[in-house]
Structure 1
């Protein structure tokens, strides 16, 4: 958090500069608003239409948060099972990698056919997006525990469960949070994609309606909201990490 306070102004300054260049380019080149609106027009539309946008925003936040929690729980459970059962890991881990090679946008219509237009296919989409980064990060954390610390625990007579709970899990927390950060940003994208499956509200629905009516300014409003939600989710996980992983915070602040 101290790093953000000291150096966070730099990316903010770069972003402001890019927005100014964008604004000047649109004005000087006289680009039609339906093709590329100026940032001032986008912000004005966002403020004026916020009341109508709020239900869509609430729907997406709820869906993304719920899917993120379920996806990360599945990811952590999968990582723990594969770590504690090496035989299962050798059989299942390649299948997990293959599962990430199937584009979600292609899989989404199949989920609608199998499960309908309800909440379940949307949660499945977000879960598929979120669980893999958490699984891989957690397994890497378990695997990177120093060998001498494991040897010391074994000499002290620790069981496999004690080894995991007292050494491997605490040591892997930093890696787990790295996976959670990635999944937090992916969850918003997954929620928007899932809303294209036939939801009644959400940022994905708002974006689809704006695109079909050539309201490019509203499309950019939706894009900026998605970016801000991703940053917000990332910040929440970063804050939780700073509170829960004390040694990691001290190391970063050095």
Structure 2
């Protein structure tokens, strides 16, 4: 019984909030309330989600999921390479650090059409847009984590004369912050894919939105929003599991005694 309470305690507050939101939503869309073309009822959205899943929403969600996963994979590879290159040179760190941050100010709605013109209406431009939006948080957080390694620990590793061990320790030390950046990236990845699909596509959840909004199919629009929310939540839930592998336990620094004092 105690274990059940321990498991249920963290999920009770968000569950209560969701129930209250759905109750207010159902009350607002009662007969005589908000028009259905403005705000569909929860039952209408669920019906649209179930009825449109086999032929419309399911295949579209699969296309968007492939774009999101492909973009995340490409973004992580680019982030890993960039972190290694920048960390190896202080000059590159000063030259590229501000440029990486500045790249986040470029709106996706501008990049998407240019990539669509260059690469066509397939998945390639969407994957690149997702990668561009996601690799920056991982890169910035990983570089920040590398700078937080205690100098005393680095000095010990230098005295040991093992550059490989030094690099492994620094990577493990920076891994938690890199994973924090990854958590941010996975939250934005589905949104980036949909924005890219808006720029030009023939499939995907963004294409479904483009078809549903002019027809005032707000029930389908809300169903797409639910799918994107679930997609982001699943990706976010998967990140901590991977974060446990590279980090493990951080190494405790040994106490150094100098002149009878413990530093």
Please report the TM-score for the alignment, with normalisation by the length of structure 1.
Answer: 0.90
Question: Which residue is equivalent to 1:192?
Answer: 194
Give the whole-Å Cα distance in 2 for the aligned partners of 1:202 and 1:115: 17
Aligned with residue 110 of structure 2, among 106, 112, 126? 106
Moved more, 124-133 or 112-121: 112-121
Q: Does the alignment pair 1:43 with 2:50? A: no
1:124 to 115, 121, 128: 128
**Unpaired runs of 5+ in structure 2?**
251-263
2:33 aligned to which of 30, 39, 54: 30
Partner Cα separation in structure 1 for residue 151 and residue 108 of structure 2: 39
- The 3-state SS of whatever aligns with 2:74 is helix
Once structures 1 and 2 are overlaid, which stretch shifts more, 199-208 or 238-247? 238-247
User: 1:76: which partner in 2?
Assistant: 80
Asked if 1:183 corresponds to 2:185, the answer is: yes
The C-alpha deviation readout for 1:85-112, integer Å capped at 9, x for no partner, is 1111111112112211111112211222
Moved over 6 A (4+): none
Quote the Cα distance in structure 2 between the aligned partners of 1:48 and 1:246. 45
Contact 2:145 / 2:175 at 8 angstroms: preserved in 1? yes
1:32 alignment partner, SS class: coil
State the structure with more CA Rg. 2
Cα distance in 1, alignment partners of residues 18 and 127 from structure 2: 33
Deviations for 1:118-147, whole angstroms, at most 9, x for unmatched residues? 333222111111110110111011111112
1:27 match: secondary structure: coil
- After superposition, what is the alpha-carbon deviation per residue over 1:16-62, rounded to whole angstroms, capped at 9, x for unaligned? 11111111122165211001112221112111221121110111111
Superposed counterparts of 1:1-254, under 5 Å: 5-27=8-30, 30-52=33-55, 53-159=57-163, 161-165=164-168, 167-247=169-249
Distance in 2 between residues matched to 1:177 and 1:4, nearest whole Å:
24
The alignment's C-alpha RMSD in Å is 1.9
Uncovered stretches (5+) of structure 1, i.e. residues with no partner: 249-254
Q: CA deviation at 1:228?
A: 0.6
Q: Secondary structure at the match of 2:38?
A: coil
CA distance in 2, matches of 1:88, 1:243: 29
Structure with the larger helix share: 1
Are the structure 2 counterparts of residues 48 and 214 from structure 1 closer, same or farther at C-alpha, using a change threshold of 3 Å? same
Size of the aligned set, in residue pairs, is 245
Output one character per residue of 1:160-186: Cα deviation in whole Å (capped at 9) or x when no partner. x44212x10011111111111111121
